[in-house]
Amino acid sequence: MLKTRTKSKFKEFLLNQGLKSTQQRELILEEFLRAGSHLSTEDLYLRLRKKNPRIGYATVHRTLKLFAECGIAEQRHFGDGQARYEASDQDEHHDHLICVTCGRIVEFEDPRIEQLQVEVAAEHGFSIERHRLELYGFCSDCRQA
């Protein structure tokens, strides 16, 4: 999604919820969109501190939760005990490949897998609302080493 589009979506959300548009929230969204995906609260907090030391961890934390609530970000857990956030691609869904050596995270999408998931769930009487698929292994760089 376009950055401007995302920003206005957030502002609209704030308005609807009776929340206020503040300097911090704008800065945080700005940096969140600039930075790559899969950042932890800590990651984003540190990036923001470099440019603006007067920003608190709690605010970053709360704002990321707002992003998730608003639908412009999604929270993820990759097993290292830290929550990470990524910008949502709206309708576009994707899963993750994670290199267990270097920590590199690659996104992918495969409609065939998605289809099979629906089928398998149905066989067990389930209807799927969402799913999580993570493949852990070695990326090309780390396999050679």
Partner DNA sequence: TTTAAATTGAAATCCGTTTTCAAACGGATG
Partner DNA sequence: CATCCGTTTGAAAACGGATTTCAATTTAAA
Chain residues that interact with a copy of itself, rule: CB under 8 A? 77, 79, 97, 99-100, 106, 108, 110, 112-113, 116-117, 120-121, 123-140, 143
Q: Min. distance of Cβ 51 from DNA in angstroms?
A: 12
For DNA, the binding residue among 79, 81, 111, 125 (CB under 7 A) is 81
What count of other Cβ atoms lies within 10 Å of the Cβ of residue 17?
11
Contacts of 62 (CB under 8 A, 6+ apart): none
Nearer to DNA among residue 50 and residue 124 (C-beta)? 50
Q: Min. distance of Cβ 24 from a copy of itself in angstroms?
A: 27
Q: Min. distance of Cβ 28 from DNA in angstroms?
A: 8
Contacts of 106 (CB under 8 A, 6+ apart): 96, 97, 98, 99, 139
Nearer to DNA among residue 54 and residue 112 (C-beta)? 54
The footprint of DNA on this chain (CB under 7 A) covers a number of residues equal to: 25
Long-range contacts of 117-121 (CB under 8 A, 24+ apart): none
CA angle centred on 30, ends 25 and 31, rounded to 5°: 100
